[in-house]
Structure 1
Amino acid sequence: MRVEMTSDPVEFQRRVAGFIGRDPLRHTVMSTVLANEIAGLTIAREPSCFASVHTDDVVGVAMRSAGRGVWLGQLPTDAVPLLVTRFAELVPQIDDVHGTEPVAAPFAAAWSALRGRAYHADHGARLYRLGPLRPPLAPPGKARPATAADIDVSGRWLAEMARELGDKHLAMNDKGIRARIEAGRWWLWEDDGKPVSLTAHQVPVNGWVRIGPVFTPRAARGHGYASALVAEVSRRLRETGADVCLYADIDNPTSNKIYRAIGFEAVIDEAHYTFE
């Protein structure tokens, strides 16, 4: 077994396309990161680091996307020590690791032992896929595509979301927001002429589109804006022929409840370990 590393998203996509294409939903995060980097939508001060695990063929994938932690895709558990060693050679400082429990937990333990950094379990994420869509009773207002005039409020809301969830990576600068607005991937629910909720979606890859982020500021919660907006964006995406998925914080009962109510079905849970 060997691990091959690269910072070139085009080369990595060529190398692993067949592997991730066999389970595109499981690898939606990796697929959209690759698509965004290849399209020039990723703005970061350092390159990403992509890893493929090989025997005779590719048997596993992982990545450390620009400025973020390590994300572990499907891979054999005995590949984890090799991945820890190779990531440590190229990226000596990482803040966290995401993946299913059987691979994320041993990665966190091995990284902690190697780098001398304690770790703890943080908020995990649940991946959902959309089944039959059940739109909720619509609250006042309507969904609309975001425009350049919405960049400021979107940036403030993302910063607020990052503070609430303790995840600095959720914040986005104006250039990143503008690029996604211009690509038609940024939506708002507007009530009485004012934006009250935000939903975005990623680029379609391998037949799947992932919704996120989803955010409603505290003062506007409890009215069903997010449910209605996610349902409307999901409906529009499905009309293009795409399958729809999203992630929810496992420990957030509200978001899990509203996604299930409009037709999302749980697929897999992922653990999140943060290094202190």
Structure 2
Amino acid sequence: MDIKEYSSPKEVLQQVETCLLKNEAENNLPLGLLNRLKKEEDKNVSYEVTKQPFVAVGKKEDGTTGIVLLQTPPYNLVICGDVDYAKEAAKWVYNKNQYIPGVVGAKPLVEEFVNGWKELTNCKSKTFMKQKIYRLDQVNDIPRQKGRLCYATEDDIALVTYWTEKFYEEALEPINKEEAKLFVINKIKQNQIFIWRNENGCPVSMAARSRESKNGVVISLVYTPEEYKKQGYATTCVAALSDWLLQEGYQFCSLYTDLENQTSNNIYMKVGYEPIADSVEYHFKY
């Protein structure tokens, strides 16, 4: 397999999009990131040296895509493609002296990459999260709480920042308040965060739209504060946002869940999301 690094995410997207779209929902992470980087490239966005995107493609002998490697430092390496080329990709990345704190992608591919990476670096690996990727094409007809879905606005920055901190604390890794605030301000400016307000106008749950691909869009940042949990607000919020996005013209919505969080998995399946693939994220310690 011939692996090549590219300076243009736009060029890479042109090369691999057709291949990745065959399993579009499953490949929402690399597709979404490449689409975002393409937009930034079109706007001539500049990056700090340490945050320069790393993008590479491995081609098989017949010229088809074998593997795609994508990293936006300081975050983990995203990989997708054929499991047979995982160790070869690990060796190529190692020879490039590319620092990767971890790796995320489809379970069989990632696990084979991790095995190859550990042989090369003698690092230790730790499973950070086992996830399930879900896809929804139509929202189920389910009971919903009264209220309305609306965009989060500048007036909501303090509340949404706090909720975002709690979300990261519970679902991912802790994030400091300043990082959370900058993240929220950016998302609100782009109309990407939504709040479900109950019939009294009180904010009780939130969700966000995230990565977009040709036909689909990802829902993320689903959070309901403790005092409003187990009342159907998360279900209502996700169902309403899924409806909203499908009405915009997307063919499907997708999302990730922590396999260990049975509550969230049950909520999404109730709304109409169906599991399509297993994803896993590993962290490395050198």
* TM-score over 0.5 for the pair: yes
More deviation in 103-112 or 36-45? 36-45
- Report what 2:151 is aligned to: 145
Deviation of 1:119 (Å): 1.1
* Equivalent runs, 1:64-79 vs 2, <5 Å: 64-73=71-80, 75-79=81-85
* Equivalent runs, 1:1-276 vs 2, <5 Å: 1-40=1-40, 46-55=51-60, 56-73=63-80, 75-90=81-96, 92-168=98-174, 173-191=180-198, 192-242=200-250, 243-276=252-285
Distance verdict in 2 for CA 1:80–1:204, change over 3 Å: closer
Residues 86-125 of structure 1 show CA distances to partners (whole Å, capped at 9, x for unaligned) of 3234464322222223211121122223222211223211
Which one-letter code corresponds to 1:184 in the other structure? N
For structure 1, which runs of at least 5 residues remain unmatched after alignment? none
Partner Cα separation in structure 2 for residue 193 and residue 91 of structure 1: 53
Q: Is the 8 A contact 1:9 1:37 kept in 2?
A: yes
More deviation in 194-203 or 226-235? 194-203
Q: Is the 8 A contact 1:50 1:64 kept in 2?
A: yes
Distance verdict in 2 for CA 1:92–1:62, change over 3 Å: closer
For structure 2, which runs of at least 5 residues remain unmatched after alignment? none
Distance verdict in 2 for CA 1:168–1:86, change over 3 Å: farther
Cα RMSD for the two superposed structures:
2.5
Partner Cα separation in structure 1 for residue 136 and residue 7 of structure 2: 33
Deviation of 1:232 (Å): 0.4
Partner Cα separation in structure 2 for residue 248 and residue 155 of structure 1: 21
Deviation of 1:132 (Å): 3.4
Which one-letter code corresponds to 2:280 in the other structure? A
Deviation of 1:9 (Å): 1.8
Partner Cα separation in structure 1 for residue 176 and residue 27 of structure 2: 20
Partner Cα separation in structure 1 for residue 4 and residue 164 of structure 2: 35
Residues 69-102 of structure 1 show CA distances to partners (whole Å, capped at 9, x for unaligned) of 12221x2223212221232344643222222232
Partner Cα separation in structure 2 for residue 266 and residue 138 of structure 1: 22
Which one-letter code corresponds to 1:85 in the other structure? K
Which one-letter code corresponds to 2:232 in the other structure? G
TM (norm. structure 2) is 0.86
Q: Is the 8 A contact 1:199 1:230 kept in 2?
A: yes
Partner Cα separation in structure 2 for residue 6 and residue 170 of structure 1: 33
Deviation of 1:167 (Å): 2.7
Partner Cα separation in structure 2 for residue 213 and residue 61 of structure 1: 26
| Identity over aligned pairs, percent | 22
Partner Cα separation in structure 2 for residue 117 and residue 142 of structure 1: 49
Q: Is the 8 A contact 2:134 2:274 kept in 1?
A: yes
More deviation in 175-184 or 254-263? 175-184
Residues 159-195 of structure 1 show CA distances to partners (whole Å, capped at 9, x for unaligned) of 2222223435798543443333232221011233332
Deviation of 1:65 (Å): 2.7
Which one-letter code corresponds to 1:241 in the other structure? G
Partner Cα separation in structure 2 for residue 71 and residue 82 of structure 1: 15
May I ask how many residue pairs the two structures share in their alignment?
Answer: 275
Partner Cα separation in structure 1 for residue 220 and residue 102 of structure 2: 20
TM (norm. structure 1) is 0.89
